[in-house]
Amino acid sequence: MKLICANFKMNFLKENILNYLENIHEKINKDRVIFFPSNLYISDFKKENYLVGSQDISFKEFGSLTGETSIKQLKELGISYTLIGHSERRKYFNDNRYINAKVKLALKNDLKVILCIGESLKERDNNLTSLVLKKEIDEALKNNNCFNLNNLIIAYEPIWSIGTSVIPDNKVIFKIVQEIKDYLKNKYDLNLKVLYGGSVNLENIDKLENISNLDGYLIGGASLQPEKFLDLIRIIK
Ligand code: PEP
């Protein structure tokens, strides 16, 4: 059964969240769908026993970091997952500097980490995809031998596909996902799940479902309308 991660990004007010929860009530398999709402609404999902994660964590547990939210505070709200390294974080918040610290902190705190990796359009066009992905994996995993790396899940998200409705060919996704899995196995002796993210929606899900080595999806825009999201989930095996 594939994992399905719903990344709400910075969308919704309280009223929308309550409507959303009403709309999905008793229609979701709570073992395989993980919601990543804004931190403010984590407890609303937790209250109804959904799996819930944060879209990011701070790179330190506590301290003088104005505006940040501590992993300990997020755990109090009930998260068991966190995204780390989403391309929007890397782009707007310079997160490349903190990925390694965040991964270590999350694993130390027994969270499951969805580590997002992906190439830009320019990198893809210059045949740099493999190199970029391996570099991002190595950076995230370095100096990490005391924590449980099996709690990592990789989300392959080509940056050029996020929010654009453009997705890579099935063959390309298959090849890249396999490359990621082989690299993790050969270099780190890890068998990790690999998700695909980038414009997954009702129009392309049937096609994506033919990719045999995918373990799930990270879904942004198409998770925002509950009825459509439920339709999407029904198609995913
Ligand atoms: C994302 O932001 O991780 C994502 C996959 O977004 P979208 O589905 O909207 O492309």
Residue 199 has pLDDT above 90, yes or no: yes
Q: Is the CB of 84 under 6 A from ligand 1?
A: no
What is the distance in A from the centroid of ligand 1 to the CA of 197? 6
List Cα–Cα distances, 2 to 18, 57, 213, in angstroms.
26, 25, 11
What is the distance in A from the centroid of ligand 1 to the CA of 73? 26
The answer to whether 209 and 234 are in contact (CB under 8 A) is no
Task: Note the pLDDT of residue 146.
Answer: 80
Q: Which of 162, 165, 201, 229 to mutate to test the pocket of ligand 1 (most atoms within 8 A of CB)?
A: 162
Give the DSSP letter of residue 50: -
Atom 4 (ligand 1) nearest CA: 220
Distance CA 199, CA 162 (A): 6
**Nearest Cα residue to 53 out of 81, 94, 28:** 81
Amino acid at 94: N
**6: β partners:** 35, 219
Residue 94 has pLDDT above 90, yes or no: yes
Query: In terms of DSSP H, where are the helices of the chain?
Result: 14-24, 42-47, 71-77, 87-93, 99-108, 121-125, 129-141, 170-188, 205-208, 226-235
Give the chain's largest Cα–Cα span. Answer: 48
Task: Note the pLDDT of residue 227.
Answer: 97
Can you give the residue range of the structural domain that contains 149? 3-235
Atom 1 (ligand 1) nearest CA: 220
The answer to whether 7 and 223 are in contact (CB under 8 A) is yes
Q: Is the CB of 24 under 6 A from ligand 1?
A: no
pTM of the prediction? 0.97
Residue 43 has pLDDT above 90, yes or no: yes
Which atom of ligand 1 is least distant from the CA of 162? 10
Q: For residue range 152-165, list pLDDT tens digits in order.
A: 999 999 999 999 99
Distance CA 5, CA 14 (A): 20
Distance CA 49, CA 25 (A): 11
What is the distance in A from the centroid of ligand 1 to the CA of 235? 18
CATH number, residue 81 = 3.20.20.70
Task: Note the pLDDT of residue 145.
Answer: 78
Q: Average pLDDT in the 92-111 region? A: 96
Count of domains for the chain: 1
